[in-house]
Amino acid sequence: MVPYISVRAKIFHMLPDLVENLRSLIASQYAEADGAIYGRGNFILRLSHQKHRLSVADWKALSEPQRQSRGSVLHRLRCDTLCISDFKECLGVC
């Protein structure tokens, strides 16, 4: 019974690190997705989402709450399909 308790205690102590790593990962994914709004990064906006695109100068002129608002609009948009094989056509901010 002692080994089980020590393993359980180890996992319990590692949990905050896991949560922090997951938060960091999610934040970086949102930042990458936001980059598609102004044409930077690994993602591009689908043709159906191009109306949400901003120039870099317009993006920099926005306050942080305005940026979050613009990003949240794109994060809520629905995609019909998500294709990993054809990056430029299918993989967008969805």
Question: In the prediction, which pLDDT does 70 show?
Answer: 83
Rg (CA), the chain: 19
Tokens 């613009």, residue?
70
pLDDT digits (tens, 9 = 90+) for 35-88: 888 888 777 887 877 888 889 899 899 998 998 888 887 777 665 544 444 444
Distance CA 84, CA 42 (A): 13
What is the token pair recorded at 84?
A: 């990993």
**pTM for this one?**
0.59
Q: Contact, 59 vs 37, CB < 8 A?
A: yes
**pLDDT tens-place string over residues 5-16:** 677 777 778 888
Which sign, positive or negative, has the C-alpha torsion 20, 21, 24, 29? negative
| Domain definitions of the chain by residue range | 2-90
